[in-house]
Copies of this chain bind each other. A is one copy, B any other.
Amino acid sequence: MGRFDEREKDQLRPIKITKGFTRYAEGSVFIEWGNTKVLCNATVEESVPSFKKGSGEGWVTAEYAMLPRATHTRNKRDINKLKLNPRATEIQRLIGRALRGAVDMKELGERSITVDCDVIQADGGTRTASITGGFIALALACQSLVERGLIEKVPMHHYITAVSVGIVEGKGLLDLCYEEDSAAEVDMNIIMSDGMGFIELQGTGEHGTFSQEQLEEMLGLGKKGILDLMEIQKRALHGLELKEN
């Protein structure tokens, strides 16, 4: 009666962070989270979108896409449909909002960081892997700015971490893989900062509704996962301190 892959209900899948997976990006992280694999590349550009020009402030944005064969069946490329995948649109907006929550745009200065999250292989949780791994790529890109003397310190005041929780066959589970996600009655993504405040909360009753009690159960599991993940992020960043303001 256990989980698909024998994990405890509050246990994350194994996570492996490879920094510098590619050589050109200012911050490059390959995150393997169970069988979900996402390449998160953060690019610094010395320009900002028009709505930020002259503001002295920077901007952070994210793009999310899946390679055609990241899933069981092959998906056509967006360009062949001349349409940005609607699910990807929703996800990259979520990633962008979450990562912007970590950055002080004044301290960043009038430059942009784009975090590209390209899913090489999908097995549930690609958006939480993108945020969790993208945060590290973003921090690495900021560190590169410090190293090049362009800014004095990393302009980030929070760790930002994301995890999924859900209700499967009536029970709360942390970090759903694809099979669990497909069977879930409720699916929730929790994004939190290191002060354990919520950045974003998105819960959906896929087949029916969920109760206040189930919500609380899921939040409890999620917080456990967030704490574990923040440890992983901090280790990857060699304990980089970000002082909340």
Interface positions of A (Cβ within 8 A of B): 22-25, 28, 35, 37, 39, 41, 43, 45, 63, 65, 67-72, 74, 77-80, 82-84, 86-87, 89-90, 93, 97, 101, 114, 116, 118, 120-121, 158, 188, 192-193, 195, 197-205, 208-212, 215, 219
The answer on a CB contact under 8 Å between A101 and B71 is no
Given contacts A24-B69, A25-B69, contact A199 B193 (CB under 8 A): no
A127 to chain B, nearest CB (A): 13
* Residues of B with C-beta under 8 A to A209: 101, 158, 192-193, 195, 197-199
CB distance from A149 to the nearest CB of B (A): 20
Does A114 contact B74, Cβ atoms closer than 8 Å? Answer: yes
Q: Which of B28, B37, B97, B203 contacts A201, CB < 8 Å?
A: B203
A184 to chain B, nearest CB (A): 14
Query: Smallest CB-CB separation from A210: which chain B residue?
Result: B198
Q: List 19 A-B contacts (CB under 8 A).
A: A22-B37, A22-B121, A24-B70, A39-B67, A43-B68, A45-B74, A67-B116, A77-B79, A78-B78, A79-B79, A79-B84, A84-B89, A89-B90, A197-B208, A197-B209, A198-B203, A198-B209, A200-B204, A212-B219
Q: For residue A205, which residue of chain B has the nearest CB?
A: B199
The interface residues of chain B lying within 8 Å CB-to-CB of A120 are: 22, 39
